Amino acid sequence: MLRFEARPAPSRLATLLSPLIATLATVVAGVVLFAALGHAPLRALAAFFVQPLATRYGVGEWVLKASPLALIAVGLAAGYRANVWNIGAEGQLTVGAIAAGGLALAFDGTTSPLLLPAMFVAGAAGGMAWAAIPALLRTRFRASEILTSLMLVYIASLWLQLLVHGAWRDPEGFNFPQSKLFGAAALLPVIVPDTRVNAAVLLTLAVVAAAWVFMQRRHAGFEMRVAGLAPAAANYAGIPESQTVWRGMLIGGACAGLAGVGEIAGPIGQLMPSVSPGYGFTAIIVAFVGRLNPLGIVFASLLMSLLYLGGEAAQLTLALPSAVSGLFQGTLLFFLLAADVFIHYRLVRVRAVPAGAA
Amino acid sequence: MKRAAAGADPAAPRLVLTGITKHYPAVVANDGIDLSVAPGEIHAVLGENGAGKSTLMKIIYGMVRPDAGRIAVDGVPVTIAGPAAARALGIGMVFQHFSLFETLTVADNIALALRAGVSRRALGRRIRDVSRQYGLPLDPARYVHTMTVGERQRVEIVRCLLQDPRLLIMDEPTSVLAPPAVAQLFATLRTLAAEGVSILYISHKLDEIRALCERATVLRAGRVTGECDPRRETVASLARMMIGRDLPHPRHAAATPGATVLAVDRLTLAAQDPFGVALDSVSLAVRAGEIVGIAGISGNGQRELVAAITGERTVPRADAVRIDTTPVGRLDADARRALGMAYVPEERIGRAAIPVMSLAENALLTAHRQGLVARGFIRRPAMRAFAQRVIAAFGVRAAGPDAVAESLSGGNLQKFIVGREMQQAPRVFVAAHPTWGVDVGAAAQIRQALVDLRDRGVAVLVTSDELDELFEISDCIAVMAGGRLSPPMPARETSAEAVGLLMAGPRTDAREAA
């Protein structure tokens, strides 16, 4: 008989191996799934994991999708490590895009090199403002930020739709609900030829590095980790809960807002009724798959991005239903959580013992 | 009427343990332990923290399965599969930390532990009978959250007695009791023993063991290091068996107090939750170079008072708490530290220390003003050096500044925390139960450090359940009961009896009369 036994200390080896084991188990589950659907499993796996990266353009798309995921996830992770549960990054991204897009439209036609930096500032400020609402409600009225931040996602989305259907609709856009295309001064330069990879990727890398420094080397980051690991210790040391909530929400909001700017000033190039395919929600998964660690988040965002692209490729070449992509993501998360058990527990063989007393 | 196991030999010892061994990853908790308890014997199990007492008791009560060794009850070899099996064998246990539902009545709590099939009225009658028989007054209809800790312990004991135990395990039962309640408990235990019930009494309070027990088994590092008749031993000789060397005594010269450093002025504070205690116009002054001890049964407002003094809880009237002459009532704990306060709380893990962080990071938690942070950046070498200084100065047994807090034993972690707070050159030092659950050697060291701190002119405030400790180190003692604080009494001019009477408080008297 096998039984789980608590390890005296968390296993470092299991911490490192757990994502690999989970990925392998997901692949095995995928083989079974594809075989059951009547597809050659190896061809399907190739469609998922190899085909999207077969071209230079494909690799560019991979990085382009991973970048906003990583950017949002490192911001969320700062809050999550402090038990601040910002679920509304999608809404903060949207408001960031609205703020930056408004600026781009207001200064349409300018050639000033300051427009793009100003858009990023506006985007970060917009994301922070949207995140400040749940922070205020939590610190003033003890309202759960999980609920309020999530509800604000839908409000932000409706504001964006109102704007692109109304005030900001392109007058020459044949009544399509979208804004004018942004001018050149409001668009990010492409940094790798023959791809759509733009300068936002550099910003993401800079933010990831800054997040690591903040959490590991800054006293403020230490205080947030303490608040997450032991709230009673934070109170004992005089780290105010409200300060932790504000920091966590604002960092998450700023990063999501920046990601929103990266989308509209990058691949999209204008405001549309939706400016994100759910990056703000997927980033929550990315943050946890990356163990709330900046470097881990970079890998997790690449993995999640590949699953998106693979899902699309599988739809195109194998005519698999789009639900398969979601199923794959869910399977991966499931195995990841299951593999995590081995970090704190190990399997031991126990001899059968006679039950009951004499 | 006591049941006996089938095939029991009436002349056999009630319990015999032979060669009980239990390994945990990295430690041997019990190493070939032999123990024998006769019927009607009150047998002490003595040992420092981590000596293996708790593991041994859990093995007897069926909560832990030994790796090797034999257990015999009344001469019959048994395997105890779980607490239910232990109870079926007539083994009962009263835990140090109670397992009662606060929102239920006494009768409800007891009914939950018993097998179904007893009518509520019959149960109420039995509770009243048993509690009268053993001098443990208890009203079955009372809600547990309205009861004092001593009364709750009675519920636990009565719950055990209703199952007709023939062996009763008591784990540190007096840590929550006022002296009069301790005397009452001892009388109850002696009555039980006279009826043939065997009692295993676990404690580190040597005086009590000498007063109560006929035999004692001493454990050190998982092994039996001695067996004796504690009535024929001295506290010093018992301590030597327990820690393997002589117990140091704190040097304690008369105090020469200076100006008032910490003042609490008519502090009144509502309870934060239904089970908390409200503070009722508490006033207190601690002068430089003196130790003020606050005695009291736990749960009488000490926790609330300490939280208000240290800033874990802010108070609306800033003037109610002052450091020197600065009103600090509205400042958080960190702001009060900036004014010279240091504080050792009663909980080590999760409050004074973050279990999964290293000692160096745990030093940073409160000592960040000691040059460990520069312009917002953590200075890692300074942080490790500070932790290393604490480890060296207080003889903390740890692998080094990078050791994780939870890898330390309770006593060593407490030494680290006390050291971390003392190394910050405080002017006011607050310690809540500084030696709770700490072995006698470390406890003596911590008490000496508190006295040394006083001699350097620090104002020291200590709360403790243990009167002996307070009398040993305090210059003044005040008593907390029902959220009120008595006027301070010079420790040399008062007695344990006088303090004990105040600890019981008028409130408890009224209840017991009812």
Contact B346, B432 (CB under 8 A): yes
- The answer to whether residue B438 scores a pLDDT higher than 80 is no
What is the pLDDT, as a whole number, of residue B243? 76
Which residue reads 């000592």 in tokens?
A: B367
Using CA atoms in the order B29, B35, B41, B43, what is the torsion angle rounded to 10 degrees?
A: -30
Structurally, how many domains does chain B consist of?
A: 3
In a domain, B248, yes or no: no
Are the beta carbons of A356 and B343 separated by less than 8 Å? no
Chain B residues within an 8 Å CB radius of A354: 79
| Same structural domain, B277 and B401 | no
Are the beta carbons of A229 and B354 separated by less than 8 Å? yes
- Strand, helix or coil at B460? strand
| Same structural domain, B387 and B512 | no
- The answer to whether residue B14 scores a pLDDT higher than 70 is yes
pLDDT in tens, B354-376: 999 999 999 999 999 999 999 99
* Closest alpha carbon to A196 in A148, A145, A267, A137: A267
| Same structural domain, B43 and B169 | yes
- The answer to whether residue B53 scores a pLDDT higher than 80 is yes
pLDDT in tens, A264-321: 999 999 999 999 999 999 999 899 888 899 999 999 999 889 988 888 888 888 888 8
Instruction: Return d(Cα B471, Cα B260) in angstroms, integer.
Output: 21
SS3 readout for B409-430? CHHHHHHHHHHHHHCCCCCEEE
Q: Which amino acid is at B316?
A: P
Contact A134, A88 (CB under 8 A): yes
Which residue reads 């061809």 in tokens?
A: A43
Are the beta carbons of B311 and A238 separated by less than 8 Å? yes
Are the beta carbons of B355 and A230 separated by less than 8 Å? yes
* Closest alpha carbon to A156 in A98, A74, A72: A98
Percent residues over pLDDT 90 in chain B = 46
Indicate the average pLDDT of chain B. Answer: 86
Domain boundary, last residue among B211, B243, B275: B243
Percent residues over pLDDT 70 in chain B = 91
Q: How buried is residue A134: exposed, middle or buried, by Cβ count under 10 Å (0-12/13-18/19+)?
A: buried
| Same structural domain, B413 and B436 | no
- The answer to whether residue B305 scores a pLDDT higher than 70 is yes
Q: Helix %, strand %, coil % for chain B, to 5?
A: 35, 25, 40
- The answer to whether residue B442 scores a pLDDT higher than 90 is no
Strand order in the sheet with B167-171: B91-94, B167-171, B198-203, B42-47, B215-220, B223-228
SS3 readout for A152-198? HHHHHHHHHHHHHHCCCCCCCCCCCCCCCCCCHHHCCCECCCCCCCE
Instruction: Return d(Cα A16, Cα B223) in angstroms, integer.
Output: 39
| Same structural domain, B421 and B433 | no
Instruction: Return d(Cα A97, Cα A114) in angstroms, integer.
Output: 17
What is the pLDDT, as a whole number, of residue B146? 80
- The answer to whether residue B5 scores a pLDDT higher than 70 is no
| Same structural domain, B125 and B146 | yes
State residue B47 phi and psi, 5-degree precision.
175, 160
- The answer to whether residue B285 scores a pLDDT higher than 90 is yes
In a domain, B448, yes or no: no
Are the beta carbons of A7 and B88 separated by less than 8 Å? no
Contact B7, B72 (CB under 8 A): no
State residue A261 phi and psi, 5-degree precision.
-65, -45
- The answer to whether residue B512 scores a pLDDT higher than 80 is no
| Same structural domain, B156 and B222 | yes
What is the pLDDT, as a whole number, of residue A343? 79
State residue B135 phi and psi, 5-degree precision.
65, 40
What CATH number should be reported for the domain holding residue B464?
3.40.50.300
The kind and range of the H/E element at B29 are: strand B27-37
Percent residues over pLDDT 90 in chain A = 66
Mean pLDDT of all residues in B210-233: 89
In a domain, B249, yes or no: no
pLDDT in tens, B451-480: 999 999 999 999 987 788 898 899 999 999
Contact B480, B501 (CB under 8 A): no
Using CA atoms in the order B510, B511, B512, B514, what is the torsion angle rounded to 10 degrees?
A: 90
Q: Which residue segment(s) compose the domain that B328 sits in?
A: 258-340+428-442+456-514
| Closest chain B residue to A220, measured at CA | B376
Phi-psi region of A332 (alpha: psi -120 to 50; beta: other; left: phi over 0): alpha
> B39-64 b/e with 16+ CB inside 10 Å = b?
bbbbbbbbbbbbbbbbbbbbbbbbeb
- Strand, helix or coil at A330? helix
Which of A217-221, B218-222, B431-435, B459-463 is predicted least confidently?
Answer: B218-222
What is the pLDDT, as a whole number, of residue A1? 67
| Same structural domain, B290 and B197 | no
| Same structural domain, B332 and B475 | yes
Question: B236 or A76, which is more confident?
Answer: A76
Please report, in tens digits, the pLDDT of each residue of chain A (358 residues total): 677 777 766 677 777 788 788 888 988 998 898 888 888 888 888 888 888 999 999 999 999 999 999 999 999 999 999 999 999 999 999 999 999 999 999 999 899 999 999 999 999 999 999 999 999 999 999 999 999 999 999 999 999 999 999 999 998 888 899 999 999 999 999 999 999 999 999 999 999 999 999 999 999 999 999 999 999 999 999 999 999 999 999 999 999 999 999 999 999 999 999 999 999 999 998 998 888 999 999 999 998 899 888 888 888 888 888 787 778 778 887 888 788 888 777 777 765 544 443 3
In a domain, B66, yes or no: yes
Is the ipTM higher than 0.90? The answer is no
Are the beta carbons of B364 and A217 separated by less than 8 Å? no
In angstroms, the Cα distances linking B160 to A323, B155, B156, B202, B209 are 58, 9, 6, 16, 22
HSE-up of A65 (CA within 13 Å, CB side)? 22
Tokens of residue B75, six digits: 């001469």
What is the pLDDT, as a whole number, of residue B126? 86
Instruction: Return d(Cα B497, Cα B404) in angstroms, integer.
Output: 43
Instruction: Return d(Cα A73, Cα B416) in angstroms, integer.
Output: 37
Contact B264, B284 (CB under 8 A): yes
- The answer to whether residue B139 scores a pLDDT higher than 90 is no
In a domain, B272, yes or no: yes
pLDDT in tens, B16-35: 999 999 887 666 788 999 99
What is the pLDDT, as a whole number, of residue A195? 92
State residue A349 phi and psi, 5-degree precision.
-90, 130
> A218-247 b/e with 16+ CB inside 10 Å = b?
bbbbbbbbbbbbbbebbbbbbbbbebbbbb
Contact B157, B94 (CB under 8 A): yes
Q: Which amino acid is at A26?
A: T
In a domain, B94, yes or no: yes
Are the beta carbons of B378 and A217 separated by less than 8 Å? yes
Instruction: Among B28, B64, B78, B332, pick the best mutation site for testing chain A contact (most A Cβ within 10 A).
Output: B332
Nearest to B79 among A7, A218, A358 (CB): A358
- The answer to whether residue B272 scores a pLDDT higher than 70 is yes
Contact B89, B169 (CB under 8 A): no
Contact B452, B284 (CB under 8 A): no
Which residue reads 């003392």 in tokens?
A: B422
Name, in order, each residue with C-beta under 8 angstroms of A210's C-beta and a sequence gap of 6 or more: none
Tokens of residue A30, six digits: 């995928």
> B interface toward A at CB cutoff 8 Å?
5, 24-26, 65, 76-81, 85-86, 88-89, 311-312, 332-337, 343, 345, 347, 350-357, 361, 364-366, 368, 373, 376-378, 404, 407
In a domain, B251, yes or no: no
Are the beta carbons of B333 and A233 separated by less than 8 Å? no
| Same structural domain, B130 and B265 | no
In a domain, B2, yes or no: no
What is the pLDDT, as a whole number, of residue B43? 95
Instruction: Return d(Cα B191, Cα B374) in angstroms, integer.
Output: 65
What is the pLDDT, as a whole number, of residue B507? 44
Tokens of residue B392, six digits: 């060296």
Helix axes A56-80, A89-106, angle to 10 degrees: 120
What is the pLDDT, as a whole number, of residue B510? 37
Tell me the count of A-B CB pairs closer than 8 A. Answer: 85
Chain B residues within an 8 Å CB radius of A238: 311, 332-337
Are the beta carbons of A233 and B25 separated by less than 8 Å? no
| Same structural domain, B202 and B71 | yes
Chain A residues within an 8 Å CB radius of B368: 219
Domain boundary, last residue among B191, B215, B243: B243
What is the pLDDT, as a whole number, of residue A319? 81
Instruction: Return d(Cα B83, Cα B77) in angstroms, integer.
Output: 17
DSSP string, B276-327: S--EEEEEEEEETT-EEEEE--TTSSHHHHHHHHHTSS--S-GGGEEETTEE
Tokens of residue B304, six digits: 């609330």
| Same structural domain, B412 and B286 | no
